[in-house]
Amino acid sequence: MTSVQGTAVDIPTEDGVADAYLARPGDGTPRPGVLLYQDAFGLRPHLRAMADRLAEAGYTVLVPNVFYRHGRAPVVELPEFIDPAARPEIFETLYPIMLSLTSELTVRDAGAYLRWMEQSELVADGPVALTGYCMGARLALWTAGGHPDRVAAVGGFHGGHLATDAPDSPHRSAEHITAEVYLGHADNDSALPPEQMQRLEEALTTAGVRHTCEVYEGAQHGYTQADTAAYDEQGAERHWAALLDLLKRTFG
């Protein structure tokens, strides 16, 4: 098993400084880069563990606190186990912060994250991969559309609101995406009803994007997040297999 080193890093952006976590194999060799986009609960021990697992597989992984405009992570105090039904005030606090992160700000911030990775001696030359969870899947599609020359692959898992009527809905980025896209949708997800799944599929197909969209039957919105009540072990392991396959196809 590859030894992993994890460090806190600060990334200058056009609007301030984003705190982030960097995980990479311990030998210091430049590795293909992966930008990991958080769910609503943000940068915390579980996401660091996910980054470490990707680093063990041979990648340099950056996990930015995308809510940095509202403070360093954790932006809100979180329990070790997150059950939104038991602690509704957590999501009530986070929801307006989520809404404030527009597509325009996301693409601008992504430019800073991608520049930082491009300049890092720990990231191999060439485009990077993205993986995003819940709201992070939305950020990943916006980023891939906004920086097509820098993104070679996109994984998105239990994403919500990916094909809405909004002018900046993520599915509208498809015409600009050059990366391969894999999306693992949660089953019976109120944030991504069947009509949005179909609209997203049609947008990717029409744009000629290499893509796979799969519904994980029985898995709830949030199924990859082991520190939450939505966690589904079978769905999470299926996600790891799909993501690592995507990265292997992309980087060899």
User: Which positions are catalytic?
Assistant: 134, 189, 221
Contact 129, 35 (CB under 8 A): yes
Cα–Cα distance, 243 to 182 (Å, whole number): 8
Contact 151, 48 (CB under 8 A): no
Contact 143, 130 (CB under 8 A): yes
Dihedral (CA of 19, 25, 30, 32) sign: negative
Contact 246, 153 (CB under 8 A): yes
Q: What are phi and psi of 89, to 5 degrees?
A: -65, -25
Host H or E run for residue 88: helix 88-100
Q: Give CA separation, 147 vs 43, 156, 162, 250, in Å.
A: 23, 17, 18, 17
